[in-house]
Amino acid sequence: MFKCKAAWNKLAPLARASSTLCRQAGKRAVFRHERTPQFVQPAHMSSGPSGGGGENTLYFVLVGATCLAGGAYAYSTLVGDRERYQQRITEIESRSSKPAAEPSTPAKTQLETAASEPASAAASPAVEPTHAPYLLIGGGTASFAAARSIRARDPGARVLIVTEEDDLPYMRPPLSKELWFSDDPTVTETLCFKQWNGKERSIYFQPPSFYVSPTELESVENGGVAVLTGRKVMHMDVRGNKVKLSDGTEISYDKCLIATGGIPRNLQVIERAGDEVMKRTTLFRKIEDFKALEKVSRELKSITIIGGGFLGSELACALGRRSADLGLEVVQMFPEKGNMGKVLPEYLSNWTTDKVKKEGVKVLTEAVVKNVTYKEGKVEIKLKDGRVVKTDHVVAAVGLEPSVELAKSAGLEIDSDFGGFRVNAELQARSNIWVAGDAACFYDIKLGRRRVEHHDHAVVSGRLAGENMTGARKPYWHQSMFWSDLGPDVGYEAIGIVDSSLPTVGVFAKATAKDTPKAATEQSGTGIRSESETEAVAGSVAVGKAAPTPPPQQKEDYGKGVIFYLRDKVVVGIVLWNVFNRMPIARKIIKDGEEHADLNEVAKLFNIHEE
């Protein structure tokens, strides 16, 4: 019966249409009987009743053709409908049986969560959450900061973090800094480092006991934060407020944060170079990359880092420090004229490069890689100017590609200038969707649209997104900062837009032995630059060579000072060069956004000559 009804429904409009068509064609033929409409010519081939002249034949042919077509269409639609119906039934059936099949897997995958649970989870069919009031996609710094913010503001909030990594949320800066300076031979297992106060802490934001098991999230009394590891969100349905994971699970949400971060970029020449080269290349970002590179540094004889920015320079310095003890050759190459060439003005970039070289690194500037091959047991890097470097292992630190795959299914906008999801000043992409961290291209009221890839920004934006997810409606206002240490002599903190293409004004004092990052952290009691800005961030510095008192030099020594970056005569960025604990003043100057006639007067506010 259903089939007949469906068939009738499908055919009825066609029947009406075809009869209308026939009548119209008939009328036209009657009115213009001297001319045969051209579209009918081919139809003459079909057999029609012979009687009654051209007009009659025309009618019959038309009707016959339409009915044939209509019949064919109806048949195919019916068949398609039936198939779709069957699919739907099987899908619904399979969905109801899926949760029953799942309980054993959550117990295995949630190794890090509440240790007491796995036994009971296997015993009683524990169901993974199908709904999360707060869903955070990505398990990095921004996501964790948001989770913390949500929990602080919404009592009893239930927050679910979904991450494709196998690790609980951790901080990245120590992976290229403190962890390399540790004396502990088991550091790759413990992932602990020493803070300024001598206390050890883990790179994980919180130990596993902080988190609630995902299967308990919906029932636990005061709510909590649960982490689903090893799952990637593949599809986002914004209208239906739900996401689909890589294992097929669907989770609906009330509010969602996208904090997917990014993946390291690679050089095309390396990608094209084949497996032997790719096997010997590290794209450094995660814990596993740190472990792999640490192993390589002990086992191989030569490592080359391609890239002269923050990550490349920090890794070069970290490895350079070990080079003497391990008999390791460390090479760093990049297209710019000096380390941090895109960040620091040329004179400072040159000075920094000298310092990096003193750390034991062979620095090749103005080096553009032409091709990379694997030859006679070595990776051979040929530069465009003819120089050749033979090495055992390559680390590519050439930037980050923001992860925006969800934009397609979610229908979210991607920014064409900066990359990343385009969000407004309140980090919102759509009504219930926010984006924070490396993947967010947001509108900064003071500095304009930008995308920032620093740790403190991830914390600040994650925290702000969490606040806005709980109704705060605040724009990005508290300016995030960043810092870098390139050995015991060179350390700086920076805030705002720090781009070497902008005009700069640098105000310097002569440095004494007291003005180094090492001295700053040892001497200052509570105000560790990174910890005073954001809690739970490591700021300790190399325990290594003592900084010798610099002998009087002929050439200028940029020991410590302040560098202002200007855009249309307004300070938009500040670098505090070996001057610490002054970030609040810098932040204030950027916030004011005023034109200052004499920047030396502004520099006085920093008291650069004092401790």
588 binds other proteins (CB under 8 A): yes
Nearer to other proteins, 233 or 562 (CB): 562
- Distance in Å, CB of 252 to other proteins, minimum: 24
Q: Which of 337, 474, 545, 569 binds other proteins (CB under 8 A)?
A: 474
Residue span 431-470 as binding mask against other proteins, x where in contact by CB under 8 A, dash where not: --------------------------------x--xx---
Q: How far is the CB of 497 from other proteins (least distance, A)?
A: 15
Q: CB nearer to other proteins: give 349 or 403.
A: 349
Dihedral (CA of 59, 60, 63, 66) sign:
negative
**In this chain, which stretch among 63-71, 325-333, 357-365, 580-588 interacts with other proteins, using CB under 8 A?**
580-588
d(CA 253, CA 33): 67
Among positions 486-505, residues that touch other proteins (CB under 8 A) are 503-505
Q: Tell which one of 12, 69, 72, 152 touches other proteins (CB under 8 A).
A: 152
Q: How many CB atoms lie within 10 A of CB 547?
A: 18
Locate all alpha helices (DSSP H) within 260-361, ordered by sequence.
Answer: 268-271, 275-279, 287-299, 310-326, 346-358
Distance CA 536, CA 393 (A): 33
Q: How far is the CB of 76 from other proteins (least distance, A)?
A: 58
Instruction: Considering only the stretches 31-39, 72-80, 193-201, 240-248, report the one whose residues sit in contact with other proteins under the rule CB under 8 A.
Output: 193-201
Max CA pair span of the chain: 117
Question: Counting contacts by CB under 8 A, is residue 350 touching other proteins?
Answer: no
Of these, 222, 246, 268, 424, which contacts other proteins (CB under 8 A)? 222
Residue 60 and residue 68: Cα distance in Å, rounded? 12
User: Contact between 336 and other proteins (CB under 8 A)?
Assistant: no
Under rule CB under 8 A, residue 139 binds other proteins: no
Determine the interface stretch with other proteins among 36-44, 176-184, 218-226, 235-243 (rule: CB under 8 A).
218-226
Distance (Å, whole) CA 151 – CA 226: 12
Cβ distance 290 to 426 under 8 Å?
A: no
| Distance in angstroms (rounded) separating the CA atoms of residues 508 and 248 | 59
Q: How far is the CB of 272 from other proteins (least distance, A)?
A: 37
Integer Cα distance of 598 and 602 in angstroms: 7
Task: Give dist(CA 293, CA 381) in Å, integer.
Answer: 19
Query: What phi and psi values does residue 331 have, to the nearest 5 degrees?
Result: -120, 140
Among 62, 126, 136, 147, indicate the residue that binds other proteins (CB under 8 A). Answer: 147
Q: Which residues contact 454 (CB under 8 A, 6 or more apart)?
A: 480, 481, 482
What part of residues 504-533 is at the interface with other proteins (CB under 8 A)?
504-510, 525-528, 531-533
* Beta-carbon contacts of residue 567 (< 8 Å; ≥ 6 apart): 497, 502
The residues that touch other proteins, with contacts defined as CB under 8 A, are 147-153, 155-156, 195, 197, 199, 201, 206-207, 209-210, 212, 222, 224-225, 345-347, 463, 466-467, 474-475, 477-478, 503-510, 525-528, 531-536, 556, 584-585, 587-589, 591-592, 594, 596, 598, 600-605, 607-609
